[in-house]
Structure 1
């Protein structure tokens, strides 16, 4: 989309963005999800718990056409669970359980092990089978591992941190092209490449992936992918035009002072196909209307933090989840970064009205984050409960996102660093929150993407000592577990140093973003990694050393 350079260009450009957002549904029609397609058969299989993981049947591949299978089901009506299991086995190919067996015998140093893992996590372009929940994927891509057999949105950026450092720029380019294709097809990047993920996205890190393609001058890549960046931004901003103060529409919230900020929000309000039994069981133990609860759960899944005390009204109980009532500091920081990236891309293309518009939008968002989320007394950025008109006052690692994108000034960064040292720094790295609820995105668990955001943000905002401390503690945690278990996992217990628990599913091995972040930190802090398998092998990477992350404004 090109914008006018004449008088009124900014207003014209913003109206064009709103128009693009309003026609977002004109993209490819979303195929049916498994629960919609298989109806009573889906409900029976899930309620019978034929498989321990609700995701298993949601990912099954039918052996005949859906119409034929449903006709057989109506005719046979399996009388019990055994008959139902026999029916499913006859009519579907069920995905197998991932092999989590660690290699026997001697292992490579950790950095070399990560370099050798990428081919195991790469998948070719894939065409989905009729009736399958899989979406067509027209490009090579990295999967996280374990039960996560498909492409995931925000995981991919953190995986690519290692991919590009190991010399696979061609794979990164394929994935960025592919994500741009998903935006063109659906209007946004879905949570993952499954039909049941199309109703939501994930933290908007596409611009960061684009920046990895041109590390010395990210604006070059932003200009090349400008239509895709603008289209994704328009999707996140749908509903903004005409929104009244103190109200929300889709992902957009108009604050009391008129500022626009964003929230996580899912378009659907029924149980998640991939967690059907868990959602239905939770609704049965809650006094809330099920549809409201289901949308809140889905919206938290869009955040990537599923689940965390960040989203709970009482700070402890999942049944009180209120994701759509919260304006998250991490989401709005990333959208600020996206606005800055689009402005840089427009400027590179000499589209001055466009550059001015997005620069203005970024400045407005930065001011809103400062107004509504910065807490001077507690020295941190909080999420904001827009319905109650108050900060949540629940400290989490999200407080570091404003440092990562450049919203925080150096004074705030120093204050945040002090808060992090006092309340979030643990023996094994950066904690996710300060409370233990049994949810996987709470204390004592640590996650690779949050370590990266913290390290880069602190380093960029003149807090190198804490950045190094977090990096070294994380590398020691991953390194010790690798020496013991000979593998990497999706999350770690930062108190015990062991693989973490909690959440809706067992701990997953693999694991794409742990590999990518650990590789990048080993490269940037090689002396920390001496006990964790050492830095990368010199011959394994063709790129140049870069202690910052392309695409993260500094």
Structure 2
């Protein structure tokens, strides 16, 4: 049957096969292509806008979104669903396939179900590089990490906290510190904890996530924002705002209405009163990063620490003169997160407000941060009115946030070799600091060539998967996983960062050395083998 699905768009649904499709004409207006279909407890909605398809799949009360570049119309987007699996196709190209059973809500029913999402079930339709992973080893590592989370729990009275000017927290938290890490890595860092939370969701350790969330909300109540970390010297700034997304995913997984009602106004406060405050504002309408007065650091360095990239060649020496891609992409996602939470609370005016906020920022990012010359998203220097000179892996955050158009994504995928090396994804292309512009020497710029960092790999893979470039994401994931597991086999340790050019632990710009770490490195071992993450996380 034909079901109207928005301006000049029809959904075709056949009851037996549970198939529906949308055909979008070339002259369809922006926003056209909205439709929905349902099959038992599986519901689907799709939107095609500016050559990008967004498919939202809801199983019971669990919602997962996939974003894919499809280019200009017309297109036929098809979803085939059975009781146990689904396949998304555009024209004749399969975008993604997955099992309805691979969702955290179902994993909570049995401790062994999550493990079934590895090996053959995951690799059947994947690239040769992905299938080449040692899946038995990966599963053993996953089991080891699953049973080791409690060892990474820190409390405010932990003796290691005496090494820093610690801010006491009311709940235990999962820190990144391995047993051999420096004591200061027992700090609850904002964006580090986000990646840990995602892995904890996969491993059904919602009890540990809850403590992280409660501490995050406690710090917003105290400071108006989550500081860089729970140390006094770090409290004059925040860190890249990812954490709220994990709160939304926790609420979806648990249905915790009390937390929903309590967290929402605090997150709105952080978003509006801190991230959109005057000290972050710039003439472009996009934000920059700034510190509120760290007495121990050059203001440029303190501001750069708020991005999490402390420090890098990427911002041409002064992040406060730029609109960073990663910060603005994170705020696009933050606004959409608030819109989702407002929808759960039945606040339609705020749903519209935050959705419009996200769309406005995405439009500005396409205007100012896209470099037609480089074929990538680059941080924009609004003072000099030009892009920064150095390309970074944060370019792919525009894909993760759904900002990039289909044509832009195709160019970014084609340009992956600008940053991809044999052992992983570079933090930046090869670059050296200009002494006239930089406060530090190259040796302290650790988020720079030849270093590769796990969180940048996770976001890049997530973004490429969302637009259907799974083979490209496979290359990134498998190279990092091979590097991590090789060193783990040789040393028994995972590390904070790796030399992805020669595959070693030796970095000429390691700042404080290449230290051991669990945190986002073990999160990478949990998340990357289970991609795509949109089909994995609530």
Give the match for residue 174 of structure 1.
211
User: In 2, Cα distance between the equivalents of 1:499 and 1:118?
Assistant: 25
Give the match for residue 263 of structure 2.
225
Q: Does 1:111 align with 2:142?
A: yes
Residue pair 1:309, 1:435 contacting (<8 A) in 2 also: no
Taking structure 1 as reference, are residues 374 and 436 closer, same or farther at Cα in structure 2, changes over 3 Å only? closer
User: In 2, Cα distance between the equivalents of 1:191 and 1:237?
Assistant: 13
Residue pair 1:161, 1:517 contacting (<8 A) in 2 also: no
User: In 2, Cα distance between the equivalents of 1:453 and 1:440?
Assistant: 19
Residue pair 2:198, 2:523 contacting (<8 A) in 1 also: yes
- What displacement does 1:450 show? 0.5
User: How many pairs are equivalent?
Assistant: 383
Say which of 517, 528, 547 aligns to 2:524. 517
User: In 2, Cα distance between the equivalents of 1:205 and 1:459?
Assistant: 19
Taking structure 2 as the reference length, the TM-score comes to 0.67
Q: Where does 1:378-527 land on structure 2 (aligned, <5 Å)?
A: 378-420=374-416, 422-437=417-432, 438=443, 439-501=445-507, 502-524=509-531
Residue pair 1:219, 1:345 contacting (<8 A) in 2 also: no
Q: Where does 1:320-399 land on structure 2 (aligned, <5 Å)?
A: 321-399=317-395
Say which of 230, 245, 255 aligns to 1:193. 230
Taking structure 1 as reference, are residues 348 and 109 closer, same or farther at Cα in structure 2, changes over 3 Å only? closer
Residue pair 1:150, 1:194 contacting (<8 A) in 2 also: yes
User: In 2, Cα distance between the equivalents of 1:169 and 1:369?
Assistant: 35
Other structure's SS at 1:261 match? coil
Greater relative contact order (Cα < 8 A, sep 6+): 1
User: In 2, Cα distance between the equivalents of 1:167 and 1:226?
Assistant: 23
User: In 2, Cα distance between the equivalents of 1:193 and 1:234?
Assistant: 22
Give the match for residue 165 of structure 1.
202
Residue pair 2:451, 2:499 contacting (<8 A) in 1 also: yes
CA deviation string 1:51-99 (max 9, x = no partner)? xxxxxxxxxxxxxxxxxxxxxxxxxxxxxxxxxxxxxxxxxxxxxxxxx
Give the match for residue 122 of structure 1.
153
Residue pair 2:236, 2:294 contacting (<8 A) in 1 also: no
Taking structure 1 as the reference length, the TM-score comes to 0.65
User: In 1, Cα distance between the equivalents of 2:496 and 2:276?
Assistant: 33
User: In 2, Cα distance between the equivalents of 1:190 and 1:415?
Assistant: 36
CA deviation string 1:462-481 (max 9, x = no partner)? 11110111111111111111
Taking structure 1 as reference, are residues 224 and 184 closer, same or farther at Cα in structure 2, changes over 3 Å only? closer
Which range moves more in the overlay, 394-403 or 107-116?
107-116
User: In 2, Cα distance between the equivalents of 1:488 and 1:125?
Assistant: 25
CA deviation string 1:398-450 (max 9, x = no partner)? 11001001111222211111112x30111111111111544211111111100
User: In 1, Cα distance between the equivalents of 2:349 and 2:327?
Assistant: 26
User: In 1, Cα distance between the equivalents of 2:411 and 2:210?
Assistant: 38
CA RMSD of aligned residues (A): 2.7
User: In 1, Cα distance between the equivalents of 2:471 and 2:138?
Assistant: 32
Which range moves more in the overlay, 495-504 or 371-380?
495-504
Other structure's SS at 1:204 match? coil
User: In 2, Cα distance between the equivalents of 1:322 and 1:428?
Assistant: 29
- Which one has a larger percent helix, Structure 1 or Structure 2? 1
Give the match for residue 270 of structure 1.
295
- Which one has a larger percent strand, Structure 1 or Structure 2? 2
Other structure's SS at 2:148 match? helix
Residue pair 1:127, 1:137 contacting (<8 A) in 2 also: no
Residue pair 1:222, 1:342 contacting (<8 A) in 2 also: no
CA deviation string 1:341-380 (max 9, x = no partner)? 1112212222122112112211111111011011223211
- What displacement does 1:546 show? 6.3
